[in-house]
Amino acid sequence: MDRFYFDHNASTPVSPEVLEALTPALREVYGNASSIHHPGQMAKQRLEAARGQVAQLIHAQPREIVFLSGGTEADNLALFGAVRYHPRERKHVVTTAIEHPAVLAACAQLEREGVSVTRVGVSSDGLVSPGDIRRALRPETVLVSVMHANNELGTVQPLAEIGRIAREAGVLFHSDGVQAVGKLPVDVQALGVDLYSLTGHKIYAPKGAGALYVRQGTRLGAIQFGGHHERDRRPGTENVPGAVGLGAAAQWLSDNLDAETARLRVLRDRLEAGLLQRVPSAVVNCSNAPRTPNTSNVRFEGCDGEALVIALDLRGFAVSSGAACSSGAVEPSHVLTAIGLPPQRARASLRFSLGRSNDAAQVDALIEAVASVASPHAR
Ligand SMILES: *Cc1c(COP(=O)(O)O)cnc(C)c1O
Protein backbone atom coordinates (compact mmCIF):
# COMPACT_ATOMS: atom_id res chain seq x y z
CA MET A 1 0.00 0.00 0.00
CA ASP A 2 1.24 3.50 -0.82
CA ARG A 3 1.36 5.83 2.15
CA PHE A 4 0.61 9.50 1.68
CA TYR A 5 1.43 11.98 4.41
CA PHE A 6 -0.90 14.95 4.91
CA ASP A 7 0.03 15.83 8.50
CA HIS A 8 2.98 18.21 8.08
CA ASN A 9 1.71 20.53 10.82
CA ALA A 10 2.29 17.69 13.30
CA SER A 11 5.80 16.92 12.08
CA THR A 12 7.84 16.60 8.90
CA PRO A 13 10.40 14.11 7.60
CA VAL A 14 14.03 15.20 7.46
CA SER A 15 14.72 16.64 3.99
CA PRO A 16 17.61 15.52 1.75
CA GLU A 17 19.45 18.84 2.24
CA VAL A 18 19.16 18.59 5.99
CA LEU A 19 20.32 14.97 5.99
CA GLU A 20 23.30 15.96 3.88
CA ALA A 21 24.28 18.63 6.40
CA LEU A 22 23.63 16.35 9.37
CA THR A 23 25.74 13.43 8.27
CA PRO A 24 29.14 15.16 8.52
CA ALA A 25 27.99 17.04 11.61
CA LEU A 26 27.31 13.72 13.34
CA ARG A 27 30.36 11.95 11.94
CA GLU A 28 33.06 14.56 12.27
CA VAL A 29 31.94 17.21 14.73
CA TYR A 30 32.18 15.91 18.26
CA GLY A 31 33.91 18.62 20.29
CA ASN A 32 32.20 20.69 22.94
CA ALA A 33 31.55 24.10 21.38
CA SER A 34 32.85 25.70 24.61
CA SER A 35 36.29 24.03 24.36
CA ILE A 36 39.21 26.09 23.07
CA HIS A 37 40.96 23.24 21.24
CA HIS A 38 40.49 22.44 17.56
CA PRO A 39 37.61 19.92 17.89
CA GLY A 40 35.79 22.40 20.13
CA GLN A 41 36.33 25.25 17.72
CA MET A 42 35.09 23.10 14.81
CA ALA A 43 31.85 22.58 16.70
CA LYS A 44 31.65 26.27 17.56
CA GLN A 45 32.12 27.21 13.94
CA ARG A 46 29.28 24.91 12.77
CA LEU A 47 27.04 26.23 15.51
CA GLU A 48 27.64 29.86 14.54
CA ALA A 49 27.14 29.14 10.83
CA ALA A 50 23.77 27.57 11.68
CA ARG A 51 22.88 30.57 13.85
CA GLY A 52 23.51 32.84 10.88
CA GLN A 53 21.25 30.71 8.64
CA VAL A 54 18.36 30.79 11.11
CA ALA A 55 18.82 34.53 11.70
CA GLN A 56 18.76 35.22 7.98
CA LEU A 57 15.47 33.39 7.48
CA ILE A 58 13.62 35.62 9.96
CA HIS A 59 15.64 38.83 9.41
CA ALA A 60 17.28 38.76 12.84
CA GLN A 61 20.88 39.26 13.96
CA PRO A 62 22.73 36.01 14.67
CA ARG A 63 23.30 37.09 18.30
CA GLU A 64 19.50 37.26 18.74
CA ILE A 65 19.03 33.51 18.07
CA VAL A 66 19.02 31.18 21.09
CA PHE A 67 19.22 27.49 20.22
CA LEU A 68 17.17 25.18 22.43
CA SER A 69 15.21 21.95 22.27
CA GLY A 70 12.12 23.01 20.30
CA GLY A 71 8.92 24.98 20.22
CA THR A 72 7.74 24.00 23.67
CA GLU A 73 10.95 25.11 25.33
CA ALA A 74 11.04 28.32 23.28
CA ASP A 75 7.50 29.21 24.40
CA ASN A 76 8.30 28.38 28.02
CA LEU A 77 11.48 30.45 28.01
CA ALA A 78 9.62 33.41 26.51
CA LEU A 79 6.76 33.31 29.00
CA PHE A 80 8.52 32.36 32.23
CA GLY A 81 11.61 34.37 31.29
CA ALA A 82 9.58 37.55 30.73
CA VAL A 83 7.55 37.14 33.91
CA ARG A 84 10.52 36.23 36.11
CA TYR A 85 12.52 39.26 35.11
CA HIS A 86 9.89 41.66 36.36
CA PRO A 87 9.21 42.65 39.97
CA ARG A 88 6.29 41.07 41.78
CA GLU A 89 3.80 43.87 41.40
CA ARG A 90 3.90 43.74 37.57
CA LYS A 91 2.40 40.39 36.82
CA HIS A 92 -0.17 40.09 34.08
CA VAL A 93 0.05 38.26 30.75
CA VAL A 94 -2.26 38.59 27.75
CA THR A 95 -2.62 35.67 25.37
CA THR A 96 -5.33 34.10 23.20
CA ALA A 97 -7.75 31.20 23.46
CA ILE A 98 -6.28 29.40 20.43
CA GLU A 99 -2.63 29.07 21.44
CA HIS A 100 -0.75 25.77 21.32
CA PRO A 101 -0.65 23.87 24.65
CA ALA A 102 3.02 24.94 24.97
CA VAL A 103 1.71 28.46 25.66
CA LEU A 104 -1.64 27.65 27.27
CA ALA A 105 -0.26 25.15 29.78
CA ALA A 106 2.64 27.49 30.59
CA CYS A 107 0.06 30.23 31.26
CA ALA A 108 -1.92 27.89 33.51
CA GLN A 109 1.25 27.26 35.52
CA LEU A 110 1.94 31.01 35.68
CA GLU A 111 -1.53 31.43 37.18
CA ARG A 112 -0.74 28.83 39.83
CA GLU A 113 2.35 30.93 40.62
CA GLY A 114 0.24 34.06 41.16
CA VAL A 115 0.37 35.71 37.73
CA SER A 116 -2.92 36.81 36.20
CA VAL A 117 -3.59 35.78 32.62
CA THR A 118 -6.15 37.15 30.15
CA ARG A 119 -7.07 34.85 27.27
CA VAL A 120 -8.51 36.92 24.45
CA GLY A 121 -11.07 35.16 22.25
CA VAL A 122 -11.14 34.98 18.47
CA SER A 123 -13.75 35.63 15.79
CA SER A 124 -15.56 32.83 13.96
CA ASP A 125 -12.85 33.31 11.32
CA GLY A 126 -10.21 32.35 13.87
CA LEU A 127 -8.73 35.83 14.11
CA VAL A 128 -7.65 37.84 17.13
CA SER A 129 -8.74 41.48 17.16
CA PRO A 130 -5.88 43.92 17.93
CA GLY A 131 -8.45 46.11 19.69
CA ASP A 132 -9.26 43.24 22.05
CA ILE A 133 -5.56 42.89 22.86
CA ARG A 134 -5.34 46.63 23.55
CA ARG A 135 -8.36 46.50 25.85
CA ALA A 136 -6.88 43.57 27.78
CA LEU A 137 -3.71 45.50 28.69
CA ARG A 138 -3.27 46.67 32.29
CA PRO A 139 -0.61 48.79 33.97
CA GLU A 140 0.88 45.56 35.37
CA THR A 141 0.96 43.69 32.03
CA VAL A 142 4.41 42.21 31.34
CA LEU A 143 3.89 40.29 28.13
CA VAL A 144 1.54 39.77 25.20
CA SER A 145 1.82 36.33 23.55
CA VAL A 146 -0.08 35.76 20.29
CA MET A 147 0.77 32.92 17.91
CA HIS A 148 1.63 33.88 14.33
CA ALA A 149 -0.19 31.06 12.52
CA ASN A 150 -2.53 28.56 14.13
CA ASN A 151 -1.56 24.90 13.90
CA GLU A 152 -5.12 23.59 13.45
CA LEU A 153 -6.72 26.25 11.25
CA GLY A 154 -3.73 27.91 9.59
CA THR A 155 -5.19 31.33 10.40
CA VAL A 156 -2.59 34.10 10.37
CA GLN A 157 -2.91 36.75 13.07
CA PRO A 158 -2.40 40.50 12.52
CA LEU A 159 0.92 40.48 14.38
CA ALA A 160 2.32 43.77 13.12
CA GLU A 161 -0.70 45.67 14.46
CA ILE A 162 -0.53 43.85 17.78
CA GLY A 163 3.21 44.53 17.88
CA ARG A 164 2.59 48.27 17.56
CA ILE A 165 0.07 48.15 20.41
CA ALA A 166 2.48 46.25 22.66
CA ARG A 167 5.33 48.63 21.85
CA GLU A 168 3.22 51.74 22.57
CA ALA A 169 2.26 50.20 25.92
CA GLY A 170 5.85 49.25 26.73
CA VAL A 171 4.93 45.58 26.99
CA LEU A 172 7.03 42.68 25.67
CA PHE A 173 5.57 40.90 22.65
CA HIS A 174 6.08 37.17 22.06
CA SER A 175 4.79 35.12 19.16
CA ASP A 176 4.79 31.37 18.71
CA GLY A 177 5.93 31.26 15.11
CA VAL A 178 6.29 27.48 14.89
CA GLN A 179 3.56 27.15 12.23
CA ALA A 180 4.45 30.32 10.34
CA VAL A 181 8.13 29.64 9.69
CA GLY A 182 8.43 27.77 6.41
CA LYS A 183 4.93 28.77 5.33
CA LEU A 184 5.08 32.57 5.34
CA PRO A 185 7.86 35.12 4.93
CA VAL A 186 8.86 36.09 8.49
CA ASP A 187 10.51 39.40 9.30
CA VAL A 188 10.82 39.94 13.04
CA GLN A 189 11.45 43.66 12.48
CA ALA A 190 8.28 44.18 10.46
CA LEU A 191 6.24 42.09 12.91
CA GLY A 192 7.50 44.07 15.89
CA VAL A 193 8.05 40.97 18.03
CA ASP A 194 10.57 40.86 20.88
CA LEU A 195 10.44 37.08 21.18
CA TYR A 196 9.61 34.54 18.44
CA SER A 197 9.55 30.73 18.78
CA LEU A 198 10.38 28.20 16.06
CA THR A 199 11.14 24.50 15.87
CA GLY A 200 13.08 22.24 13.52
CA HIS A 201 10.76 19.29 13.14
CA LYS A 202 8.00 21.32 11.49
CA ILE A 203 10.43 22.50 8.78
CA TYR A 204 12.14 19.22 7.78
CA ALA A 205 14.90 19.32 10.43
CA PRO A 206 15.21 16.78 13.27
CA LYS A 207 13.03 16.73 16.35
CA GLY A 208 14.52 18.18 19.52
CA ALA A 209 16.07 21.30 17.96
CA GLY A 210 14.50 24.74 17.95
CA ALA A 211 15.22 28.39 18.54
CA LEU A 212 13.91 31.45 20.29
CA TYR A 213 14.52 34.84 18.72
CA VAL A 214 15.28 37.32 21.50
CA ARG A 215 15.44 40.92 20.32
CA GLN A 216 18.70 42.51 21.39
CA GLY A 217 18.27 44.22 24.77
CA THR A 218 15.21 42.17 25.78
CA ARG A 219 15.33 41.40 29.48
CA LEU A 220 14.55 37.81 30.33
CA GLY A 221 14.91 35.97 33.63
CA ALA A 222 16.44 32.50 33.69
CA ILE A 223 14.36 29.33 33.69
CA GLN A 224 17.28 26.88 33.71
CA PHE A 225 20.56 27.13 35.56
CA GLY A 226 23.99 25.90 34.52
CA GLY A 227 26.85 27.12 32.35
CA HIS A 228 27.15 30.27 30.26
CA HIS A 229 25.97 28.85 26.95
CA GLU A 230 23.88 30.78 24.44
CA ARG A 231 24.75 34.18 25.94
CA ASP A 232 23.47 33.03 29.33
CA ARG A 233 19.99 32.49 27.90
CA ARG A 234 20.07 28.68 27.75
CA PRO A 235 22.61 26.69 29.76
CA GLY A 236 23.66 23.22 28.64
CA THR A 237 26.12 21.88 26.05
CA GLU A 238 24.78 22.89 22.65
CA ASN A 239 23.10 20.31 20.41
CA VAL A 240 25.39 21.09 17.47
CA PRO A 241 23.93 18.52 15.04
CA GLY A 242 20.43 19.75 15.90
CA ALA A 243 21.45 23.34 15.23
CA VAL A 244 23.19 22.34 11.99
CA GLY A 245 20.00 20.59 10.84
CA LEU A 246 17.90 23.61 11.76
CA GLY A 247 20.36 25.86 9.93
CA ALA A 248 20.23 23.73 6.78
CA ALA A 249 16.43 23.73 6.87
CA ALA A 250 16.44 27.53 7.27
CA GLN A 251 18.86 27.89 4.37
CA TRP A 252 16.62 25.81 2.09
CA LEU A 253 13.65 27.96 3.05
CA SER A 254 15.55 31.20 2.43
CA ASP A 255 16.22 29.92 -1.09
CA ASN A 256 12.91 28.17 -1.87
CA LEU A 257 10.11 29.57 0.30
CA ASP A 258 8.26 31.54 -2.38
CA ALA A 259 8.22 28.76 -4.96
CA GLU A 260 7.30 26.05 -2.47
CA THR A 261 4.51 28.00 -0.79
CA ALA A 262 3.03 28.94 -4.19
CA ARG A 263 3.05 25.24 -5.11
CA LEU A 264 1.40 24.26 -1.82
CA ARG A 265 -1.29 26.91 -2.17
CA VAL A 266 -2.32 25.47 -5.54
CA LEU A 267 -2.48 21.96 -4.05
CA ARG A 268 -4.42 23.14 -1.00
CA ASP A 269 -6.95 24.96 -3.18
CA ARG A 270 -7.27 21.86 -5.36
CA LEU A 271 -7.93 19.75 -2.26
CA GLU A 272 -10.61 22.11 -0.93
CA ALA A 273 -12.35 22.46 -4.29
CA GLY A 274 -12.34 18.69 -4.73
CA LEU A 275 -13.66 17.97 -1.25
CA LEU A 276 -16.44 20.55 -1.54
CA GLN A 277 -17.44 19.06 -4.86
CA ARG A 278 -17.33 15.39 -3.84
CA VAL A 279 -18.67 15.67 -0.29
CA PRO A 280 -21.76 17.90 -0.23
CA SER A 281 -21.73 18.20 3.58
CA ALA A 282 -18.12 19.48 3.71
CA VAL A 283 -17.44 22.99 5.06
CA VAL A 284 -13.98 24.57 5.18
CA ASN A 285 -13.41 26.12 8.62
CA CYS A 286 -12.18 29.74 8.53
CA SER A 287 -11.84 29.76 4.75
CA ASN A 288 -12.26 33.54 4.64
CA ALA A 289 -9.37 34.34 6.95
CA PRO A 290 -5.76 34.82 5.85
CA ARG A 291 -4.31 31.32 6.19
CA THR A 292 -0.99 29.54 5.76
CA PRO A 293 -0.87 28.06 2.26
CA ASN A 294 -0.57 24.41 3.32
CA THR A 295 -3.34 24.03 5.89
CA SER A 296 -6.97 23.11 5.44
CA ASN A 297 -9.42 22.37 8.25
CA VAL A 298 -12.65 20.86 6.98
CA ARG A 299 -15.69 19.62 8.81
CA PHE A 300 -17.82 16.80 7.50
CA GLU A 301 -21.21 17.31 9.12
CA GLY A 302 -22.48 14.22 10.83
CA CYS A 303 -19.11 12.41 10.80
CA ASP A 304 -16.75 11.64 13.66
CA GLY A 305 -13.27 13.06 12.98
CA GLU A 306 -11.40 10.37 14.92
CA ALA A 307 -13.22 7.64 12.99
CA LEU A 308 -12.32 9.37 9.71
CA VAL A 309 -8.65 9.58 10.71
CA ILE A 310 -8.62 5.84 11.35
CA ALA A 311 -10.54 4.99 8.17
CA LEU A 312 -8.12 7.13 6.12
CA ASP A 313 -5.10 5.62 7.84
CA LEU A 314 -6.31 2.16 6.80
CA ARG A 315 -6.30 3.47 3.23
CA GLY A 316 -2.74 4.84 3.62
CA PHE A 317 -3.50 8.53 4.25
CA ALA A 318 -2.16 10.26 7.36
CA VAL A 319 -4.33 13.22 8.42
CA SER A 320 -5.31 14.63 11.78
CA SER A 321 -8.40 15.58 13.71
CA GLY A 322 -7.83 18.52 16.02
CA ALA A 323 -4.25 18.94 17.20
CA ALA A 324 -2.01 15.88 17.29
CA CYS A 325 -1.04 16.65 20.88
CA SER A 326 -4.65 16.28 22.03
CA SER A 327 -5.57 13.29 19.87
CA GLY A 328 -6.87 10.51 22.02
CA ALA A 329 -8.43 13.07 24.34
CA VAL A 330 -12.21 12.96 24.22
CA GLU A 331 -12.58 16.74 24.44
CA PRO A 332 -13.18 18.62 21.19
CA SER A 333 -10.34 20.87 20.07
CA HIS A 334 -10.07 24.08 22.12
CA VAL A 335 -9.31 25.93 18.90
CA LEU A 336 -12.46 24.80 17.10
CA THR A 337 -14.46 25.50 20.25
CA ALA A 338 -12.96 29.02 20.36
CA ILE A 339 -14.22 29.80 16.84
CA GLY A 340 -17.70 28.93 18.07
CA LEU A 341 -18.20 25.40 16.76
CA PRO A 342 -20.45 23.30 18.98
CA PRO A 343 -18.70 20.10 20.19
CA GLN A 344 -20.34 17.89 17.59
CA ARG A 345 -19.17 20.05 14.69
CA ALA A 346 -15.71 20.43 16.20
CA ARG A 347 -15.45 16.64 16.45
CA ALA A 348 -16.50 16.34 12.79
CA SER A 349 -13.45 18.30 11.59
CA LEU A 350 -10.27 17.06 9.93
CA ARG A 351 -6.99 18.88 9.40
CA PHE A 352 -5.07 18.34 6.19
CA SER A 353 -1.58 19.86 6.20
CA LEU A 354 0.42 19.62 2.99
CA GLY A 355 4.16 19.59 2.51
CA ARG A 356 7.10 18.87 0.28
CA SER A 357 6.26 15.26 -0.54
CA ASN A 358 2.72 15.95 -1.77
CA ASP A 359 1.75 16.39 -5.41
CA ALA A 360 -1.48 16.78 -7.40
CA ALA A 361 -1.92 13.02 -7.90
CA GLN A 362 -1.73 12.45 -4.14
CA VAL A 363 -4.22 15.24 -3.52
CA ASP A 364 -6.63 13.68 -6.03
CA ALA A 365 -6.25 10.29 -4.36
CA LEU A 366 -6.91 11.91 -0.97
CA ILE A 367 -10.09 13.57 -2.26
CA GLU A 368 -11.40 10.18 -3.46
CA ALA A 369 -10.48 8.48 -0.20
CA VAL A 370 -12.17 11.17 1.91
CA ALA A 371 -15.24 11.05 -0.31
CA SER A 372 -15.49 7.30 0.19
CA VAL A 373 -15.21 7.45 4.00
CA ALA A 374 -17.16 10.68 4.64
CA SER A 375 -20.12 10.28 2.31
CA PRO A 376 -23.41 9.36 3.95
CA HIS A 377 -23.65 6.00 2.15
CA ALA A 378 -20.30 5.02 3.68
CA ARG A 379 -21.68 5.27 7.21
C1 LIG B 1 4.46 21.84 17.25
C2 LIG B 1 4.14 23.15 17.89
C3 LIG B 1 4.77 23.54 19.08
C4 LIG B 1 5.70 22.63 19.85
O5 LIG B 1 6.94 22.46 19.24
P6 LIG B 1 7.86 21.23 19.70
O7 LIG B 1 9.12 21.45 18.96
O8 LIG B 1 7.12 19.99 19.27
O9 LIG B 1 8.02 21.32 21.17
C10 LIG B 1 4.49 24.79 19.58
N11 LIG B 1 3.64 25.62 18.96
C12 LIG B 1 3.01 25.28 17.82
C13 LIG B 1 2.09 26.25 17.18
C14 LIG B 1 3.23 24.03 17.25
O15 LIG B 1 2.60 23.69 16.14
Domain boundaries of the chain, sorted by first residue = 4-12+257-378, 16-252
Give the residue from 86, 101, 143 showing the smallest Cα distance to 118.
Answer: 143
Instruction: Choose the residue to mutate in 99, 103, 145, 199 for probing ligand 1, maximizing ligand atoms within 8 Å of C-beta.
Output: 199
Question: How many Å lie between the centroid of ligand 1 and the Cα of residue 101?
Answer: 8
Residue 322 has a pLDDT of: 67
Question: Quick one: what percent of the chain has pLDDT higher than 70?
Answer: 96
Average pLDDT, the chain: 95
The pLDDT tens digits of the residues spanning 208-265 come to 999 999 999 999 999 999 999 999 999 999 999 999 999 999 999 999 999 999 999 9
Q: Is the CB of 199 under 6 A from ligand 1?
A: yes
Give the residue from 175, 141, 143, 139 showing the smallest Cα distance to 158.
Answer: 175
Domains 4-12+257-378 and 16-252 share a fold: no
Q: Is the CB of 100 under 6 A from ligand 1?
A: yes
Question: How many Å lie between the centroid of ligand 1 and the Cα of residue 198?
Answer: 8
Residue 86 has a pLDDT of: 84
Q: Is the CB of 184 under 6 A from ligand 1?
A: no
Residue 145 reports pLDDT greater than 70:
yes
Looking at domain 16-252, which of 3.30.540.10, 3.40.50.10490, 3.40.640.10, 3.30.450.90 is its CATH number? 3.40.640.10
pTM greater than the 0.95 cutoff: yes
Residue 107 among the catalytic residues: no
Confidence of residue 373 (pLDDT cuts 50, 70, 90): very high
Residue 19 has a pLDDT of: 98
Mean pLDDT over residues 74-92, rounded? 90
Look up the CATH number of domain 4-12+257-378. 3.90.1150.10
Nearest-CA residue for atom 10 of ligand 1: 71
Q: What type of residue sits at position 111?
A: E
Residue 376 reports pLDDT greater than 70:
no
Residue 331 has a pLDDT of: 83
Residue 264 has a pLDDT of: 98
Residue 375 has a pLDDT of: 79
Burial class for 330, CB neighbours closer than 10 Å (0-12, 13-18, 19+):
exposed
Q: Is the CB of 71 under 6 A from ligand 1?
A: yes
